[in-house]
């Protein structure tokens, strides 16, 4: 023997009783790795030479799961329902009997779906509205309340449609209801698509896409580490803050001493005392100079005064050069005047 298959169950397919047989070639073969042989036909000597049979009757009230795939009862290319079924949005559910009193016959079996005019199931009957005020979104079964959450259905007398997860359009969860905006003004992010509304937050950021409501945080961290009355921000607008119980808390001013924080727009971090690596200068704790240090005053003086001195020296040199040229020019002019005077003196005038 170089190949074997296993009978794992039995049921009805296309109106015939069949064995459900699992192949060993994976889910890419056959129907998710399974195939069906009519019971009593002994096709491929299935019943004559069966070596191992693991029959398992199918649960007719829910989807049957197999080790190598899932087959929905009653769908195309899968097992049929024995007698009763519903088909809502392509999801087929099998029953031992219809949960309503209005089954219709379809393809030789009973379809237990209520007509469009009375789509809701209440106490085994199809009704137009749920008198209980709540219903299941899957099979439209009326019920007293919702276990998890709900959305309001205006077309069903504004009743509650029970759901498992809030849809994207109403992803905020408030007192059991899925809403588009938290009326309380605050919420907590539970998952990527689910948010719980609540009365207030200890720490929060504002959400402009949800009516500027407060998105609650456990603490101010990351890109918004500073807290102003609980509001987390990237900078303190007051320019002053303190480290209080691990929280960078913004405040109006420092009561005693401070250090300058160059990473927070040169704001002031209030401290009770200077550290061992700092020195007090007025009310500010500044880093101590360890080697070849220049005081900030001297450094500022050098930066401002030295350029002025250089400019002044350049101006003096230029002025001296200009004055010398002028002086040399005047000296040459005087020599020429003296020569002219001498020539005039030595000139002999003849009288005619």
Q: Are 177 and 149 in contact (CB under 8 A)?
A: yes
Assigned domain for 190 exists: yes
The reply to whether 195 falls in a domain is: yes
Using one digit for the tens of pLDDT, what is the confidence trace for 21-55? 888 888 788 887 888 888 888 887 877 776 655 55
Mean predicted lDDT score pLDDT of the chain:
78
300 in any annotated domain: no
- pLDDT of 11 reads 74
* 146-159 pLDDT tens trace: 888 888 887 666 78
Rounded Cα gap, residues 167 and 60, in angstroms = 30
Domain assignment of residue 182, yes or no: yes
Same domain flag for 275 and 230: yes
Residues 282 and 234 in one domain: yes
What pLDDT shows up at residue 71?
40
* Domain match, 243 and 268 both: yes
Residues 6 or more apart in contact with residue 327 via CB below 8 angstroms: none
Q: Last residue of a domain, which of 253, 287, 321?
A: 287
Which band of pLDDT confidence, cut at 50, 70 and 90, is reported for residue 74? very low
Do 279 and 236 lie in one domain? The reply is yes
Q: What is the mean pLDDT of residues 151-171?
A: 81
Enclosing domain of residue 238 = 226-287
With respect to residue 316, please indicate whether it lies within any of the assigned structural domains.
no
Q: Are residues 195 and 245 in the same domain?
A: no
Q: Is residue 189 in a domain?
A: yes
Query: Is residue 172 in a domain?
Result: yes
The answer as to whether 183 is a domain residue is: yes
d(CA 109, CA 94): 11
Domain count, the chain: 2
- Which contiguous run of DSSP H or E holds residue 330? helix 296-345
Instruction: Tell me the DSSP string of 163-225.
Output: ESS--GGG-EEETTEEESS-TTSEEEE-SSS-EEEES--SEEEEEGGGTTEEEEESS--TT--
The answer, yes or no, to whether residue 312 has pLDDT greater than 50, is: yes
pLDDT at 86: 76
């Amino acid at each position: 023997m170089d190949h074997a298959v296993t009978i794992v169950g039995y049921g009805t397919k296309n109106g015939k009783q069949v064995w459900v047989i699992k192949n060993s070639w994976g889910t890419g073969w056959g129907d998710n790795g399974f195939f069906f042989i009519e019971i009593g036909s002994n096709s491929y000597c299935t019943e004559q030479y069966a070596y191992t049979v693991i029959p398992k009757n199918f649960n007719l009230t829910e989807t049957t799961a197999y080790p190598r795939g899932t087959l929905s009862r009653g769908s195309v290319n899968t097992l049929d329902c024995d007698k009763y079924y519903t088909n809502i949005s392509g999801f087929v559910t099998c029953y031992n009997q219809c949960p309503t009193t209005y089954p219709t016959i379809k393809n030789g079996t009973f379809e237990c779906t209520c007509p469009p005019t009375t789509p809701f199931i209440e106490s085994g009957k199809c009704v137009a509205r749920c008198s209980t005020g709540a219903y299941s979104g899957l099979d439209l079964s009326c019920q007293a309340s919702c276990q998890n959450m709900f959305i309001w259905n205006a077309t069903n007398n504004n009743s509650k449609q029970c759901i498992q997860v809030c849809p994207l359009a109403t992803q905020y969860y408030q007192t059991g209801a899925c809403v588009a905006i938290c009326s309380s003004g605050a919420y907590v992010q539970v998952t990527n698509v689910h948010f719980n509304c609540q009365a207030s937050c200890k720490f929060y950021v504002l959400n402009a896409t949800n009516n500027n409501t407060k998105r609650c945080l456990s603490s101010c961290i990351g890109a918004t580490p500073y807290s102003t009355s609980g509001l987390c921000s990237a900078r303190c607008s007051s320019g002053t803050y303190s480290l209080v119980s691990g929280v960078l808390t913004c405040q109006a001013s420092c009561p005693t001493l401070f250090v300058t924080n160059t990473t927070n727009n040169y704001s002031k971090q209030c401290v009770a005392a200077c550290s061992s690596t700092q020195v007090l200068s007025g009310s500010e704790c500044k880093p101590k100079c360890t080697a070849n240090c220049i005081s900030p005053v001297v450094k500022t003086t050098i930066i401002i005064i030295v350029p002025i001195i250089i400019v002044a020296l350049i101006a003096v040199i230029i002025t001296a050069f200009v004055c010398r040229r002028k002086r040399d020019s005047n000296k040459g002019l005087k020599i020429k005047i003296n020569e002219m005077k001498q020539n005039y003196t030595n000139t002999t005038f003849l009288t005619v």
